[in-house]
Homo-oligomer: A and B are copies of this chain.
Amino acid sequence: MLKSVRLFKVKFPSQSNERGHRVLRSASTSLKEWHVQKLYHSQTATNSVELKEHPVSTKPVNKFIDRTHTCGELTSENQNQKVKLCGWLEFQRMGKFGILRDSYGSTQCIVDDKDSDTTEKLKKLPFETVLSIEGTVILRPEGQSNPKMKTGDIEVLVESIEIFNSTKPQLPFYIRNHNVAKEALQMQYRYLSLRFPEIQKNLRLRSWVTMKMREYLINKCGFVDVATPTLFRKTPGGAQEFIVPTQHIGKCYSLVQSPQQFKQLLMVGGIDKYFQIAQCYRDEGARNDRQPEFTQLDIEMSFVSREGVMNMVEELILNSWPDSLGAIKTPFHRITYEEAMENYGCDCPDLRIPGKISNVSKIIKETENKFDESCEFYATVFENKQQFLTKSVKEMLSKLSKQMSDDVKLIQMKVSGKDLAELQKLFTESTRTSLSNSLNVKENDVLFIIYGPKSDARRTLAKLRLEFTNFLESKGEKIRSPGYKFAWIVDFPLFEINKDTNILETTHHPFTHPHPDDMKHLFTNPLQVRGLQYDLVLNGSEVGGGSIRIHQKSLQEKVLNMLKIDPTEMYYLLEALGSGAPPHGGIALGLDRYISLLCGATSIRDVIAFPKTMEGKDLMSGAPTLISKEDKELYHISISNDSEKKENENK
| Contact (A88, B580) CB under 8 Å given A233-B624, A638-B640 | yes
Q: Verify if A330 is at the interface (C-beta below 8 Å from B).
A: no
In the complex, how many angstroms separate the beta carbon of A582 from the nearest chain B beta carbon?
5
**Is the pair A579, B132 in contact by a Cβ cutoff of 8 Å?**
no
Given contacts A200-B271, A232-B618, A572-B620, 20 further A-B contacts (CB under 8 A): A64-B221, A64-B311, A66-B305, A128-B579, A132-B303, A164-B303, A165-B581, A165-B583, A167-B579, A189-B575, A191-B266, A233-B623, A233-B625, A245-B245, A245-B637, A246-B283, A248-B624, A252-B625, A252-B627, A636-B645
Residues in chain B near residue A191, CB distance under 8 A: 265-266, 268-269, 572, 576, 579
Residues in chain B near residue A633, CB distance under 8 A: 648, 651
Identify the closest chain B residue to A62 (Cβ): B222
Residues of A within 8 A of B (CB): 59-67, 86, 88, 101-104, 128-130, 132, 164-168, 171, 189-195, 200, 203-204, 206-207, 210-211, 214-215, 218-222, 224-234, 240, 242-255, 262, 265-266, 268-273, 277, 279, 281, 283, 285, 292-293, 295, 301-305, 308-309, 311-312, 551-552, 572, 575-583, 608-610, 612, 615-616, 618, 620-628, 631, 633-640, 644-645, 648, 651
Residue in B295, B301, B551, B634 whose CB lies within 8 Å of A65:
B301
Residues in chain B near residue A622, CB distance under 8 A: 233
| Contact (A61, B221) CB under 8 Å given A265-B190, A279-B279, A621-B232 | yes
The docked-state distance in angstroms from the alpha carbon of A163 to that of B634 is 52
Identify the closest chain B residue to A647 (Cβ): B633
Residues in chain B near residue A219, CB distance under 8 A: 60, 211
**Is the pair B312, A580 in contact by a Cβ cutoff of 8 Å?**
no
Residues in chain B near residue A623, CB distance under 8 A: 231-233, 253-254
In the complex, how many angstroms separate the beta carbon of A353 from the nearest chain B beta carbon?
32
| Contact (A269, B164) CB under 8 Å given A252-B625, A253-B624, A308-B64 | no
Identify the closest chain B residue to A85 (Cβ): B303
Q: Which one of A60, A67, A253, A626 has the highest number of Cβ atoms from chain B below 10 Å of its Cβ?
A: A253
* Chain A to chain B contacts (Cβ below 8 Å), 6 pairs: A171-B580, A192-B269, A207-B218, A248-B624, A252-B631, A253-B624
**Is the pair A203, B220 in contact by a Cβ cutoff of 8 Å?**
no
Q: Which one of A191, A228, A576, A618 has the highest number of Cβ atoms from chain B below 10 Å of its Cβ?
A: A191
Residues in chain B near residue A576, CB distance under 8 A: 191
| Contact (A626, B251) CB under 8 Å given A67-B303, A207-B218 | yes
**Is the pair A167, B247 in contact by a Cβ cutoff of 8 Å?**
no
**Is the pair B168, A578 in contact by a Cβ cutoff of 8 Å?**
yes
In the complex, how many angstroms separate the beta carbon of A580 from the nearest chain B beta carbon?
4
Identify the closest chain B residue to A172 (Cβ): B579
The docked-state distance in angstroms from the alpha carbon of A240 to that of B634 is 10
Residues in chain B near residue A302, CB distance under 8 A: 65, 86
In the complex, how many angstroms separate the beta carbon of A2 from the nearest chain B beta carbon?
14
Residue in B232, B262, B582 whose CB lies within 8 Å of A165:
B582
**Is the pair A609, B245 in contact by a Cβ cutoff of 8 Å?**
no
**Is the pair A636, B627 in contact by a Cβ cutoff of 8 Å?**
no
**Is the pair A164, B583 in contact by a Cβ cutoff of 8 Å?**
yes
**Is the pair B231, A207 in contact by a Cβ cutoff of 8 Å?**
no
Identify the closest chain B residue to A649 (Cβ): B249
**Is the pair A200, B270 in contact by a Cβ cutoff of 8 Å?**
yes
Residue in B60, B229, B265 whose CB lies within 8 Å of A612:
B229
**Is the pair A624, B252 in contact by a Cβ cutoff of 8 Å?**
yes
The docked-state distance in angstroms from the alpha carbon of A303 to that of B230 is 35
Identify the closest chain B residue to A204 (Cβ): B224
Residue in B129, B210, B247, B293 whose CB lies within 8 Å of A580:
B129
**Is the pair A639, B637 in contact by a Cβ cutoff of 8 Å?**
yes
**Is the pair B625, A60 in contact by a Cβ cutoff of 8 Å?**
no
Identify the closest chain B residue to A313 (Cβ): B64
Residue in B211, B231, B233, B254 whose CB lies within 8 Å of A225:
B211
Identify the closest chain B residue to A192 (Cβ): B579
**Is the pair A271, B218 in contact by a Cβ cutoff of 8 Å?**
no
Identify the closest chain B residue to A635 (Cβ): B243
**Is the pair A270, B67 in contact by a Cβ cutoff of 8 Å?**
no
The docked-state distance in angstroms from the alpha carbon of A226 to that of B220 is 24
| Contact (A203, B271) CB under 8 Å given A191-B576, A246-B624, A265-B190 | yes
The 6 nearest A-B residue pairs measured at CB:
A194-B269, A61-B222, A233-B623, A251-B624, A64-B308, A128-B580
The docked-state distance in angstroms from the alpha carbon of A644 to that of B62 is 59
**Is the pair B63, A222 in contact by a Cβ cutoff of 8 Å?**
yes
**Is the pair B233, A627 in contact by a Cβ cutoff of 8 Å?**
no
**Is the pair A304, B64 in contact by a Cβ cutoff of 8 Å?**
yes
Residue in B65, B249, B651 whose CB lies within 8 Å of A640:
B249
In the complex, how many angstroms separate the beta carbon of A83 from the nearest chain B beta carbon?
14
Q: Which one of A63, A166, A168, A312 has the highest number of Cβ atoms from chain B below 10 Å of its Cβ?
A: A63
The docked-state distance in angstroms from the alpha carbon of A214 to that of B219 is 13
Residues in chain B near residue A200, CB distance under 8 A: 270-271
Residue in B171, B578, B618 whose CB lies within 8 Å of A233:
B618
Residue in B67, B252, B645 whose CB lies within 8 Å of A249:
B645
Q: Which one of A240, A255, A272, A305 has the highest number of Cβ atoms from chain B below 10 Å of its Cβ?
A: A272
Residues in chain B near residue A311, CB distance under 8 A: 64
The docked-state distance in angstroms from the alpha carbon of A101 to that of B580 is 12
In the complex, how many angstroms separate the beta carbon of A276 from the nearest chain B beta carbon?
9
In the complex, how many angstroms separate the beta carbon of A43 from the nearest chain B beta carbon?
30
The docked-state distance in angstroms from the alpha carbon of A252 to that of B270 is 39
